[in-house]
Amino acid sequence: MKVFWVFSGQGAQKVGMGAGLYADNAAARRIFDIADQTLDWSVKELCFNGPVEKLTESRYCQPAIYTMSCAALEAFKLAYPEVRPLACAGLSLGEYAALYAGGAFSFEDGLRLVAKRGELMDEACRETDGAMASVLGGDEALVKEVCQNHDIDVANFNCPGQLVISGEKANVEQAIAALKEKRFRKIIPLQVAGAYHSRLMSGTGKKLQLLLEETPLQLPTVSVYHNYSAVSSKSLTELKENLAAQVAGSVRWEACVSKMIAAGGDAMIEFGPGNVLTGLLRRINSRVTGYNVNSVDSLVKLNLD
């Protein structure tokens, strides 16, 4: 079995995430404890007890999910020390946990970077009036055309038949109306703070680039497929450029997963809260087996034989 590892993105958070792992697994406990020592607020308190309103804010949500995902990974590595990934990837925020898994930076350095990323994205949301919507079914080229006509962007290419559009709220509303006229079967406005992965986040990308220059980084020891380019970096310069561009660029998740499968991956393990990526996998390639590690129970039930 050749496994590839993937990591949850923002939106998968829930109150109580990681509490069982913290109580029962020394490796996971260590990650949460380091997180609390690194930031000026308690990550484990927020993850385990909420409130959900605070856990939803990007500046808190992103470090919380990153920490929980890394804790799940370390718990898995303690149970399966011989299993190494063919490649890694993460959905948007999850790309940072994927880079940690690949050895690009320490947990602490990644956490500081993620915390600042969340703050910058919250700041951009307050300065703009953005919106997002999930578009299900229909022709991808037609969605791109409607986005272009209304000056918005395709934020996510998640799987066949599932795209997310993002941009100025008024323009997104007009695009939704245009798509309905073209008989798209289902369009769901998303409850988000702003227009993630759109041109409204371009200023955030520039600020993030400066932070990346100050963060100790090295090339991962395994291939980490970037959301922005859908390929792994060959240099540190390329890696930083991908991370900086990612916040305003499209998330090419379907391409990332397809390329890891093409490289030989025949099983996927999703680390972090929820099982969104496992669900997308079934739409991308139903022949590949998906597993989740997000609790003590999921780890106990995991069977990689």
Residue 226 appears among annotated catalytic residues: no
Provide the CA 180 distance to its chain's centre, in angstroms.
29
> What's the rounded Cα separation, in Å, for the pair 87 and 89?
7
Tokens 């607020």: give the residue: 41
- Give 69's contacts (C-beta < 8 A, 6+ positions apart): 7, 8, 90, 94, 97, 271, 272, 273
For residues 45 and 17, give the distance between their C-alpha atoms in angstroms, rounded to a whole number.
10
Give me the catalytic one of 58, 69, 150, 197: 197
Token readout for 65 is: 């999910």
Specify the residue for token string 């109306």: 177
CA dist 97 and 107 (Å) reads 8
**Active-site residue, 92 included:** yes
- 280: tokens are 């997308």
Looking at 69, 92, 166, 232, which residue is catalytic? 92
**Sequence-distant (≥ 6) Cβ neighbours of residue 145 within 8 angstroms:** none
Residues ≥6 apart with Cβ < 8 Å to 178? 146, 149, 150
Positions marked active-site: 92, 197
